[in-house]
Chain A
Amino acid sequence: MPILRRHGFTLVEMMVGLLLLGIISMGVYKVLVKNQQLYLTQGQKIDVGQNLRAAAAILPAELREIDAVDGDIIGMGPDSIRIRAYRVFAIACTPPVLGGALTGLALNVRQALTFGVRGFQSGDSILVYYEGDSTKRADDTWAQGKITAAPTASTCPTDLKASTLMTVSLSAGTWSNTAGSMLTGAPVRAFETITYRNSQGSDGNYYLSYRNSSGLTPLVGPLERHGLAFSYYDSTGAVTAIAANVKRIKIALNYQSLQPVRLSNGSISNILQSDTLQVTLRNNARPLTGS
C-alpha cells in the first residue's frame, strides 16, 4: 500500500468528529455564558457594595454634627429628614459688634483656622458663638444669621494674618443684644438646610437624594421603592417623635442593583442588599452643671 495514497474521511469519522466538536463547543459556550453571567453579577454586586459604602460615609458624617436640642433637625419623617448640614467652621478675629443694629455687621474670620468642604459664600446661613457673661455657662448659645455680601480676603486687625471678611446680619434669638457679648475667638459655623430622602430619578429608579436650595440631587442608589427608613431615638433609647429629643438616628437602607442578573437559583432579578447605620448626635446641648 503506497504511503502517499490520498483518501478522505469516512462518514462515520466525520460524524464522530462533528459530535465531538459539538460537545466541546457546547461546553465552551456554557463556560463563556456562565462567565458572562458571573461577570455581570459581580459587577452589580460591586456596584451595590460601592453604594453601601458611599451612603455609610455620607449620611453619618452629615447627621453626626447636628444639635437636635437646638433645632438642627428641622423636619423628620420615617423616610426623610431635613437638617442643618454644617459646611464651614472658622474662628472669628473680629466678631460682630453687638449693642446696635443687627444688620450690616462685620465678621472677620481667620483663614488659618477655617475648615470645611467649601468656603463661606454670600447667602450662607451662619451661627456665631455667643458668650454673654463669660463667667456663666447658662447663657452660652449660638446666634443665627446670614452672610449678606460676598466675602472678601482681608487681614485680622491685631496680627495682620490672612482672614476672610464678611458682612452679616443676625436674627434676634434667646440671646441679649449687649455690647461685648461676642468675643474675639468666637467660633463661627456656616450651614445649609438640606433634606435627605428617597426619590425617583429620571431613569425611573429610586435614589437616596438630597435637596438643597439649588434643587434635588441623586446621591446613592438605586434603592428599592421604600428602601430608606429613618428611626429616631431619645437619650433613653426609646423611639421619639420629638425632634429636640433625638439623640440617635438609625438609618435602614435597601439597595438594589441597577440591572437584573441571573441568580444562583436560576431566577432573574435584581441583587438586593440591606444595610443599617446608627449615628449618635455629637453636638446635642448638654444638661447644665453649675452656673
Chain B
Amino acid sequence: MKNERGMALAITVFALVVVTALVAGTFYAATQEQRVSDNSRRSVAAFGAAEAGADDVVTGWSPTNMNKRGVYPTDSFLVASSSSMNTTPGLGGRYYGTVYRLNGNLFLIDVTGRDNSSGTTGQGIGAGARDRIGTLVKIQPINFNVSASLTTRNSVTLSGNATADGTDSPPPLWACPPAGPALAGVSTSSTATVSTNGNGSVAGNPPVQHDTGITTKFAGIDSIYAQLAARANIVLSGGNYKTDASFTGTACNTLDQLNWGDGQNTTTCSTYFPIIHITGNVTLNGNQGQGILLVDGNISVQGSYQFFGITMAKGSIGSAGGGSTAAHFYGATMAQDVNLSTTNTLSGKATLLYSNCAIQTVMSNVAVTSLLKSRSWVQLY
C-alpha cells in the first residue's frame, strides 16, 4: 500500500527522545548528588580516623621508646606509613603519621586519617578522603625539687659505715652525662639533728642543710606521691620482699610483681623502670630494683639491696648491713620520719648517693605525656 502518510512514528520517536533525555538527566543529577554526598561522608570519616589515630598515639605512648627520641630534624618516629596504615581503635578508618620531638619535652604528633573505603581495591581506587591533624603533647613534668641525697623532716643517725652523700654519683654501667653540682647530703628541718657514730658520715654541699621550709616541701611531695601512686605498675602490701630482674625467655618479665627492673644494667630489664607502691612497712632483703619506690610505711633495707631511682617513704628509712656492694640507694631518698643506722656486723657500706642521672633517667622513663594545657590541637594541611 502506497498511502503511508501520518506522523505517529515521528511523534513517538520525539516523545521517546524527550522522555529518555529527562530520565537520563535525572539519573545524571542523582548520581552526581550521590557521589558528592558519598565524598562528604568519606571526608567526615577520614577526619574521625585522624582524630582517633592521634588519640591512639597518645594512649599508646611508650615512655621508654618515645621519651629518648632525638629532637627534630635529626630524629622522628614513624607511627605508621601510608603504605601500611594502622587501623583506628573503633575500626572506622585507618591512619598513618609521624611524631616529631620539638624540644626536651614537647612533641608534635602529625596524623593523617583515611576512611575505610579509600583502599587500593573496589570503590576506593584512586579516590578516598584524607584529613591531617596534629596534636601537641608534653611529657608531663614532675618536679621533685630534690635538694639533697636524703630529705627528711626528722633527725638522722648514721652509724657503722652508713653514708649520705650529696655528690652527683652516676650509677656504674649507666650512660650518664658528666656529673653535675653536688647537693646537700642530708636536708632536714631546722630543729632536727644529724649525728654520726663510728664510721658513719655525711658528705655534700653542704653536708647538712637545715631547711625551714621542709614542711611545705613535704606537702608538695605528698601531692606528687599521690599522683605517682595512682599510676603505679606494681602495688604490694607491706611485707618482706626479695626482688630482682626476671625473664620470659630473654625478654624482661614485667608481669612479675617482684621484678623491679635491672639497675645494674646487665640484662634486658635495664630499660624497665616500674613505679612500685607498697601500702605498708617493707623490708627489702636482696637483690635490686630501679624506678620509683613509694612506701606508705617504713622501709628497712637488709644486706646488699640496691635501688636506683627515687625512693619516697611516708615513715622512716632504716638500713642494716651493706654486703659487698657499694651503695644502697642511687638517686634521691625522701622520708618524712627517719632513723638511719647500720646495726649489723657486716663491713659493707649502707650508703645513700645522690645521682642526678638516675633521677632524670627514671623520670624520663616513667613520665607519661599529656596534651598541652591549651591549644594543643591543630588542623594540618
B218 within 8 A of A: no
Residues of chain B contacted by A273 (CB below 8 angstroms): none
Interface assignment of B317: CB less than 8 Å from any CB of chain A? no
B29 touches which of A46, A131, A133, A142 (Cβ 8 Å): A46
Report whether B381 and A116 are in contact in the complex, using a CB–CB cutoff of 8 Å: yes
Q: Mark B106-119, 1 if CB is under 8 A from A, else 0.
A: 10100000000000
Contact A141 B134 (CB under 8 A): no
Given the contacts A115-B378, A136-B141, A283-B375, A35 and B18 also touching, CB distance less than 8 Å? yes
Are B376 and A283 in touch, CB under 8 angstroms? Answer: yes
Whether the Cβ atoms of A141 and B373 lie closer than 8 Å is yes
Asked whether A285 lies within 8 Å of B134 as measured between CB atoms, the reply is: no
Residues of A23-54 contacting chain B, CB below 8 A: 24, 27-28, 31-32, 35, 38-39, 42, 46, 49-50, 53
Interface size, A (range) = 35 or more
**How far apart are B135's CB and chain A's nearest CB, in angstroms?**
9
Segment at the B interface, from A146-154, A165-173, A184-192, A212-220: A184-192
Among B14, B105, B136, B372, chain A packs the most CB atoms within 10 A around the CB of B372
- Report yes or no: B374 in contact with A31, Cβ–Cβ below 8 A: no
Asked if A69 is an interface residue, CB under 8 A from chain B, the answer is yes
Q: Determine the distance from Cα of A49 to Cα of B40 in the docked complex, in whole angstroms.
A: 11
**In whole angstroms, how far apart are the Cα atoms of A50 and B36 in the complex?**
9
Count of inter-chain pairs, beta carbons less than 8 A? 137
Interface residues, chain A, with chain B CB atoms under 8 Å away:
21, 24, 27-28, 31-32, 35, 38-39, 42, 46, 49-50, 53, 56-57, 61, 64-65, 67, 69-70, 86, 89, 91, 110, 112-113, 115-117, 127, 129, 131, 133-137, 140-142, 159, 161, 183-187, 189, 282-286, 288-291
Known: A64-B379, A185-B103. 18 other contacts (CB 8 A): A27-B15, A42-B29, A67-B374, A110-B73, A113-B72, A115-B134, A115-B379, A129-B106, A141-B374, A142-B375, A183-B106, A186-B103, A187-B136, A282-B377, A286-B374, A289-B227, A291-B141, A291-B142
List 24 A-B pairs, Cβ < 8 Å.
A24-B11, A28-B14, A31-B22, A35-B18, A38-B22, A46-B32, A65-B377, A69-B374, A86-B379, A91-B108, A110-B72, A116-B381, A129-B136, A129-B372, A135-B142, A159-B74, A183-B106, A282-B377, A283-B374, A283-B377, A285-B374, A289-B227, A290-B140, A290-B223
